[in-house]
Amino acid sequence: MGLVDAPPALPPKWASKPCIMGIDEAGRGPVLGPMVYGCLYCPRTYQKTLSTLNFADSKTLKEEKREELFEDLKADESIGWAVDVIDPRELSAKMLKRSKINLNEISHDSAMGLIHKVLNLGVLLTEVYLDTVGDAEKYRVKLSERFPNIKFVVAKKADSLYPVVSGASIVAKVTRDRALRDWVFGETAEDLHRNFGSGYPGDPQTKKWLEDHKHSVFGFPTLVRFSWGTCTSYSKDFVEVLWEADVTDEDGNGRSSKRQLKLTNVGFTPQKEKTEDTESSEQLLLCCGRSNIFQSAEPHDSSEGNIDTDTDGIPKRTNNIPDCLWI
């Protein structure tokens, strides 16, 4: 997966006016590809106009219509948007680490990250609308505690109820569709093909692709979310891995001994002492797995991409890129 870089972006001239934001995701359920969180924001006074732009829940629209609407909103000077593209490697690493982070937590963190980023651009957010992830009221309270000056509305089917969320769903869906369509495999196997269907576990074409691309040692290509239950059914065909690890004696005398550890499910973390080397490797993997993209149609200043640290201490790559173009 690659991104075309472009000059970074800062807020448009209307950023100091009270603004609303909608947030939605695409790709929560598939076993293949990234999960994408998208947001759309605009002045509160533009809300009525927004309802005339024919935004709808992206799942109800054909791909051509979604692409058309995405280009329209990108060209609209009264609209800004942003996405957080969460690589399947990051999803797997967080959900399979010793202190596991579940998908709801990852989703919450992504949504809050988008809010932080837009606020940091200088946009005066006063209202944010989101779809339910987990318990709606607990989610609303969590958001309100983090951002006390913003009114939050958390509702089921928010992408069907609020045009600003419908617009966000288009941003997220088009971004994920492009990511899958133009996915660049890091693996070099000659028999890799792209006939993976929708990426959902129940899709026969996706199942066949997984069967065709499983590897007895390496598991699957990095397009696959190893943390999904779909992958565990293939573990019987994987090679059992045994290795020795240094373990500190329980009596605390500082002596080290060796014991054998076993890994039967490729991609699943065994009970092993975390060393400085393994920790830095994990951070490097995740550092390469996250892209943040921001856009509004107004002129902007430039700012450098940076590395942010999540609450769990794992850094993620943040690139302020003003357009969502995939190579």
Binding-site residue set: 24-25, 131
The rounded distance, in Å, linking the Cα atoms of 51 and 163 is 6
Parallel, antiparallel, or unpaired for β 19-26 and 125-131?
parallel
- The Cα–Cα gap between 122 and 314 comes to 26
Which residues are annotated as part of the binding site for a divalent metal cation?
A: 24-25, 131
Q: How many CA atoms lie within 13 A of 219 on its CB side?
A: 22
Q: Do the beta carbons of residue 35 and residue 291 sit within 8 Å?
A: no
Which pair of structure tokens corresponds to residue 147?
Answer: 């951002």
Residue carrying the six token digits 């890799």: 192
Record the tokens describing residue 110, joined without a space.
């992504």
Asked if 263 and 240 count as a contact pair (C-beta separation under 8 A), the reply is yes
For residue 173, report the phi and psi dihedrals to the nearest 5 degrees: -65, -45
φ, ψ (nearest 5 deg) of residue 286 = -75, -30
